[in-house]
Structure 1
Amino acid sequence: MRLTLGVYVSVEREEGRSIYHCRPLRGPQYASRDPLLSVALSKLGNKLRKSINGWIADGHSPRIGSWLYDSGTQAKTLKLTLVLRDRTLHWKLLVVALPAFERHIAFSPSIPEAAFEVHSLVDLESRASEVYSAWAQRKVSEGSEYLLEDIGESGEMWVEPLEVDVETTVRAKKKSDNIFAALFGDGKTSGSEELHKVGQCLDDLASDYPPAIGRQRLVEEMDRLLQREDRQGVLIVGPPAVGKTAIVQECVRRRAERFRQRRDQKPQVWWLSPQRLISGMSYLGQWEQRWLSILRESAKRDHILYFDDLVGLFTAGRTQDSSLSAADVLRGFLAEHRVRILAESTAEQLAVLRRRDRALADRFHLLYVPSLSAEDALPLTIAAAQEIETRSGRYFHPETIPLIMRHQETFAPDRAFPGKAIEMCKTLTKHATDYVDRDSVLSLVGTQVGAQLTLLLDGLGNQQAIQAALGRQVIGQPAAIEALSRTVIRYSQHLQPPDRPLGVLLLLGPTGVGKTEAAKALTRLLFTDESHL
């Protein structure tokens, strides 16, 4: 059942930006706040939905009827001057008037206990001044005058209707009743309720997402594709850490900003996991009913369902007794263009998808995110580091970012720029106190890979110094020591291709000449101990 509740919205300026504060006009006194109005309303709606559903499930009957929004509700912002015996108060209040037969019941959300009756809205301001003056004078007499200074608002205020989906039946408490319901059905499953159980509304988190720097073209293209009337699925393809999720988050942030002033039901972006779709579903047909109800609700509300593991839909739901998967249920909805699906994958996962179901793969518009070179990713990483500095309050030394790029190019060849460099920047700020410098980077990378990076990054001097360090451990093998030192110096000067091994060495010789000792010496030079051998 869908309820429409009245919400009191006020706006305050904090740190140079507007913050929306929302709370119910009547009913449970929950509150939410966010820089985006749509997100603040969504957060409040989730709190109200969970509370009301919990009361109904426990068999309670809250007076929900008195909380409903009346279409005849009128709200007016009043600037009142209240003259008391010993002081004058200047209040800015929103006064809400509810129709009640041939008169109105008026109150301010700032002083809900001081409600009053008014026969005509023409007299609202004078009647409010009279009632609130008497109320304030009574507070002074009671010794509670300190409360009077905090009453009122400085910014905008208004009343906003908010739709909340709630359950209408009491859940079965006996195990046997649950089994019977699972096997034989207990009525229609609420798609909205199931979405809240197994999914996460990304719109609620939109204000927390950092901007996707340098990906404006891809974000705009994704946003355009997700607004198409044909509701074709969108699959964003790229290597790990290239920034696929950041592009999705930026798109969600822009949509939330665009929709924040809409007062009707807004389409939302919901993250879903294939495994969560089937979690807790023990009986035949349960997960199918859940999945179908979610798809129907999404089709009706024009929601976007976002999967970061699209291939996982092919295994979710399969058992030794059933070959039906979540992908099989989705296939018909995609073919009929009924739902909007957004997913991300690597090129390897896309190849798996095409092998398993080419027809399903072809239902998606492919949006490729290319990997960047370290040089191209450097300005993006610097911009991201500046954003991280603003959020964390910790700062990067100028030489730190190029050092991070160099290490990530060498030690994380399986991940792409700029994601792997940005992830390292975030990790460094978690460990640093105030400043991220060269030593912080060396310490972290040394911990991650076990290499004695200080020696290598200081260049270990030159090839002669490397030969001397190895020669002190391996006696009488100058040719082998020279070959080993050439390999190390090539690495220390960053001359090796980042996608290839540092070197492939075949140590030849009869037993006892020092092959094993040479390998150990090289290991001790590059790493902290011989355990890396």
Structure 2
Amino acid sequence: MEYSERLLTALINAAEFTKKQKLELCTPETVLYFICDDELFDSAFSDCGGDTDFLEADLYDYIENNIDRFNSETNTVQNSLALECALENAAISASNSGNREIEIKHFIHGMWQIEDLYAVYFIEKQGIKETDLLCAIAELDDEEQLPEDVIIKKRNDTDDHTYYNVEDDEEDDDDEFITGAESSRKSHRSTEGFVTCLNDSLGDVNPLIGRTEELERTMQILCRLDKNNALHIGDPGVGKTAVMYGLVKKIVSGDVPEPLKNARVYSFDIGSMLAGTKYRGDFEKRLKKALSDISRDENPVIYIDEIHNIAGAGATGEGSFDAANLLKPYLTDGKIRFVGATTYEEHKKYFEKNKSLIRRFQNVEIKEPSKDECIKILEGLKSRYEKFHGVKYADDVIPYAVEMSSKYINERFLPDKAIDLIDEAGAYLKLGLDKEVNKDQGNDPHLSSVTEMLLKEAGAVPVVDRGIINAVLTKICRVPVETVETEDMDGIAGLEEKLSALIFGQNEAIKQVVNTVKFSKAGLNDENKPLASLLFVGPTGVGKTEIARLLAQKLGLKLIRFDMSEYEEKHAVAKLIGSPAGYVGYEEGGLLTEEIRKNPSSVLLLDEIEKAHPDIYNILLQMMDHATLTDNQGRKADFRNVIIIMTSNAGASRIGKSVIGFESRDRDSSVVMEEVKRIFQPEFRNRLDRIVVFNGMDDSMAEKIIGKKLSELADKLAVKNITLEYAKAAADLIKKKGISSEYGAREADRVIRNEIKPLFVDDILFGKLKTGGKVFLSAVGDKFIIKSDQI
């Protein structure tokens, strides 16, 4: 079988080149190098999105660097084994197709049947598949007939990630690069998912409410002659995308200045454009093709959400081009106007470092709306969510949702977090009703829908009230129900009595603590400060830490405790807000800030604050003054819903000299306050809501504490069916050994653990109390004794 004229020309040129260059072998790469000179192949390759100049460069580099040469000229040309195989495969392909000659398409098909061939690799490197290239050749030459196996492969090829569209359906507009854009018959590149025309895809997006100033500023920038590119900068969730959709709606309705009339706004998805790119240049070609097609529009605007992603997108290494560099000529040209959206953090990280990029944009700051503005936004959106969920929002729910989301959802911004709250509240109520209806109707979905319809006809539309908002809020931000519900006021009303029943001899201190909490709950304190900032001072072992624990328990809050004796060194204090950059643990954040970020409503106990390094007060001042603490990575922890309690033993030694003992005495608070003034700086003391002075230990307190601890022991024994009774002598010995001026009541636990509990062990495990019984605890001299009887 003979070769066609075009293929024969390539083979002859390849042979002459091989002989002239003293190459030992003529390879498929050499033949393909001269096939690139064929006009039909060049056109087909270009139609597939390839560049024969790049292909020739790759082939020439391969020939120069990978094929050995003779030392002297030779008159013979030796074909490589790969070339012989390719020609043999081409002959078989031509024969099977019924062709009289072996054409270029058969040779290309023959190459693709050889594994690990550089000629094929260089073609695929440009994102071109075999079926695409052969179809393009066949389309350009009507006399060309594809090999039969290629036709079958083409029909069965359902690879969704094919970069080029080889379908030759000229009537299908969806196969064009941009929907609605006119392109040549040969341009079959498809980027569905890369570029979206927002004018045609507004759909049922939320309406833009307010933001008049930001919209006008954006339109003003887009109407400029030079540098007519706007950059929306704002925190996540404040409405940057909504502003853009509002602008598109204005363009569609014609309510825009003349330069923006009939503008078409296209949205770029950089992530989808990067997906599936294998070789260097793939991404650049997609982007440039998209920009080229969009530039044909009379009045195009490109919107790129998360525009910071263009920095580094498509770059293959240091010094290589990325999407930002590819866009710069278009940003300067002014024919295509750009609008980008990014956050403050990403703007600082990417844009501020790229001075040439940032000067091509004009900043439009999208700030978080105020609570009043947010209420207006939600009132405008309310009807959409009512229709979707089939519910009704009570009149007071919108302001309440804004207030509660601002108070408890700390790491997000209005209006996004408030919208999420009412949306989820609607879903919560709807799902709850569906469960009840299904339960009543025997899980019959038909009956459920009928019941729902009857409810609507009767006007009984379910209502989202404050209770539903509270229920959803507890799930979103892990806040106890008692904290957000109005009923928790009943708990606060009886809080003083509850604490007094568990903490003995500290009635005045308890009253001061509860009054401070009430004051905060009444909303009379500064909303930009913690709920309370308290300093507990007094002797050790009198209940300072215990009252903080019980306060958290009764209010349904988590207790976060830090032993400040662990922060005596300056470098240790840094752990609370995170290690400095370059130190171990920098990425982990601060111990204190992370705890508060996880538990925004809590009781924070800083035990023995005077033992910490003085640098701790720089942190405390920020917490108490503005209810925020910034960690090493710039993230803020919100302390507005935190009760801060610090304990100190300041003045304990001086009190002990005058009043420690078990005689009746009044608390000498002036002694304690003198020590507090000496130890703590004025700027720290002035930011405290209250300094609470605790009483020293006396007989009455000691007896009640011992009685409580023995009752706790009795409760543990009762679980094992053991009844405990004790004599006054046992209680007196515990008081003698466990109550002291130095440790308060702390040693009482040690006495019970080390001297009393061991008396029960053998009897419980092996003796009379193995199955339960009665125990009488007494004391003889300095020793405890027990008498046990089996049931």
TM-score for the superposition, normalised by structure 2: 0.40
Deviation at 1:405, TM superposition (A): 1.9
- 2:352 maps to a residue whose letter is R
Bigger RCO of structures 1 and 2 (CA < 8 A, at least 6 apart): 1
5 Å matches for 1:488-503?
Answer: 488-503=517-532
Aligned to 2:564: none
Corresponding residue of 2:377 = 380
Following TM superposition, by how much is the alpha carbon of 1:206 offset from its aligned partner in structure 2, in angstroms? 1.0
Could you tell me whether the CA contact under 8 Å between 1:413 and 1:498 is conserved in 2?
no
Deviations 1:272-304 (A, max 9, x none): 343333221121111122122222222232433
Shift of 1:221: 4.3
Structure 2: gaps spanning 5 or more residues:
1-47, 49-110, 134-162, 165-175, 179-188, 256-261, 431-461, 561-598, 603-791
Distance of aligned partners of 1:474 and 1:331 in 2 relative to their CA distance in 1, 3 Å threshold:
farther
Identity fraction in percent: 23
Q: How does 1:84-123 map to 2 (within 5 A)?
A: none
What TM-score results when the alignment is normalised by the length of structure 1?
0.58
- Report matched runs for 1:87-486 at 5 Å: 179-184=121-126, 186=128, 192=178, 193=189, 195-223=191-219, 225-226=221-222, 230=226, 232-258=228-254, 268-301=264-297, 302-320=299-317, 323-433=320-430, 434-454=462-482, 457-458=486-487, 460-461=489-490, 464-478=493-507, 480-482=509-511, 484-486=513-515
Separation of aligned partners in 2, 1:319 and 1:469:
67
Task: Report the RMSD for the aligned CA atoms in angstroms.
Answer: 3.8
Distance 1:220 1:478 in 2: 62
Structure with bigger gyration radius? 2
Q: CA deviation at 1:451?
A: 2.6
Secondary structure of 2:125's partner? helix
Distance 1:396 1:469, change over 3 A: farther
Opposite residue 420 of structure 1, the aligned amino acid is: K
> Which one-letter code corresponds to 1:440 in the other structure?
I
In 2, Cα distance between equivalents of 1:375 and 1:275 = 37
Quick one: distance in 1 between partners of 2:112 and 2:379? Answer: 56
Q: C-alpha distance in 1, partners of 2:352/2:227?
A: 24
What amino acid sits opposite 1:313 in the alignment?
I
1: distance between equivalents of 2:353 and 2:419? Answer: 34
- 1:418 shift after superposition: 3.1
Residue pair 2:421, 2:473 contacting (<8 A) in 1 also: no
Higher helix share: 2
Instruction: Sort the Cα spacing of 1:513 and 1:365 in 2 relative to 1 into closer, same or farther, 3 A.
Output: same
Question: Are the equivalent residues in 2 in contact too, given 1:191–1:295 (CA < 8 A)?
Answer: no
Conserved in 1, the CA contact under 8 Å of 2:199 and 2:252? yes
| 8 Å CA contact retained: 1:183, 1:283 | yes
Higher deviation after alignment, 310-319 or 488-497: 488-497
Q: How many residues align?
A: 359
Structure 1: gaps spanning 5 or more residues: 1-56, 58-171, 260-265
Determine whether 1:527 maps to 2:546: no
Question: Does the CA-based 8 Å contact 1:209-1:250 persist in structure 2?
Answer: no
